[in-house]
Structure 1
């Protein structure tokens, strides 16, 4: 493993002006997809818990579809399936977008994590104590103000433990990006394995990199939980 890293550390770790390392590509895939999924899931979660069926039903259908099908299949549909459609090829912007494996991977990951995150946040909204909502209404807050100042801040804090698991799982899910020829950590490991036939060393380095990133994410979320969920701890006597 050490000889592999000593000889091929550049594609794993080093980025220059022309090429990004496998680690950078993986982190960029994760960050962009998580950011898009998070921003989209907040309003979708509000719609998911709405009593208006014309709002909640489409969101429920979306989350069922993307949670009920493998991410690998979703990526293949976007990367190879969409580009095979005449409508996509006839539109220059769409053709350019779906021709890029990186764009297809980001879109697939964002749609997938958005579906899971929407259900996580919707569950957190439902778990808010009824007293907090009643207190907000007693102050004369409207629905929008109540969600902005009371419901969403409380729900996002309570969802942190589950959301941290989703981020870690999304990191592991980025390993399917090589299907779209995205040069992430696993793609680099496969290339190194093809060049050296040292499977244990090549994939062992990849495993260590994923492990290091996972530990860093876990530590960051644990620190956030200690800060933002301190009010939920039992009071010391």
Structure 2
């Protein structure tokens, strides 16, 4: 086992870097899309809510691997059109297809997380801002969104972890991420322990990310930590003074 790890350690390390790249790019772009979509989801107008709800229902209700196949293999059916539009170079790259699919999938979950967080914001805080004459953009920037993101922060961290692990399906479309490199190493060495090493690497990445995420969460909620103030007991002398 040690001999196999020594020989193929660079390959596994390269795969881990690609896994991190795909995960971070996907969840970052999904976060940018999730905010406006979550704001549309809480509007009263059905013309704003229904298209977003339809997209979210599709990506949350279908398997991630099916979405990946539809984008990667399905785009080949439209190759002439994509070549005319100058987009075929993007869709023929499996890494690009994986990033796009994971972005849309994570966007659906992050949108629902933010929607729930926005609807859980204390109405009294919103009414206080309106009473002070704050316009809607300042109200959302300084009151609604900070409170909503503090509520949604733990769930968003869980979504990143799920995307990190679920992203292993990218190897089925020849993406040489951590799982893809693991399958490649196994095909050359036939050492089943390579999968155990890959699982350990995923675990280490997840533990490091969770530790960093908790530090950020603690920083966001630093104002909520109350210090216990020890009061000096009142005696007759202090009472007289």
Report the equivalent of 1:165: 158
Report the equivalent of 1:131: 124
Aligned structure 1 segments of 4 or more residues deviating by more than 6 angstroms: none
Deviations 1:104-130 (A, max 9, x none): 000000000000000001100011111
Q: CA deviation at 1:140?
A: 1.1
Q: CA deviation at 1:87?
A: 5.3
Report the equivalent of 2:5: 5
Gaps of 5+ in 2: 230-241
Q: Judge conservation of contact 1:72–1:176 (CA < 8 Å) in 2.
A: yes
- Aligned residues: CA RMSD: 1.5
1:70 to 63, 76, 89: 63
**Aligned equivalents of 1:64 and 1:211: distance in 2?**
30
Q: CA deviation at 1:169?
A: 0.2
**Aligned equivalents of 1:91 and 1:184: distance in 2?**
31
Report the equivalent of 2:109: 116
Report the equivalent of 1:208: 200
SS in 1 for 2:176: coil
SS in 2 for 1:198: coil
Deviations 1:125-167 (A, max 9, x none): 0111111111111111222221122111111111111111000
Q: CA deviation at 1:232?
A: 4.4
Gaps of 5+ in 1: 14-20
Report the equivalent of 2:236: none
SS in 1 for 2:73: helix
Q: Judge conservation of contact 2:106–2:163 (CA < 8 Å) in 1.
A: yes
Report the equivalent of 1:180: 173
Out of 80-89 and 57-66, give the one that drifted further.
80-89
Q: Judge conservation of contact 2:37–2:52 (CA < 8 Å) in 1.
A: yes
Relative distance call for 1:117 and 1:191 in structure 2 (3 A) is: same
Q: Judge conservation of contact 2:79–2:88 (CA < 8 Å) in 1.
A: no
Q: CA deviation at 1:57?
A: 1.4
SS in 2 for 1:210: helix
1:220 to 212, 215, 240: 212
Out of 149-158 and 89-98, give the one that drifted further.
89-98
Q: Judge conservation of contact 1:82–1:88 (CA < 8 Å) in 2.
A: no
Matched, 1:36 2:26: no
Report the equivalent of 2:95: 102
Q: CA deviation at 1:83?
A: 1.8
Larger radius of gyration, structure 1 or 2?
2
Deviations 1:162-196 (A, max 9, x none): 11100000000110111221110001100111111
Aligned residues: 229
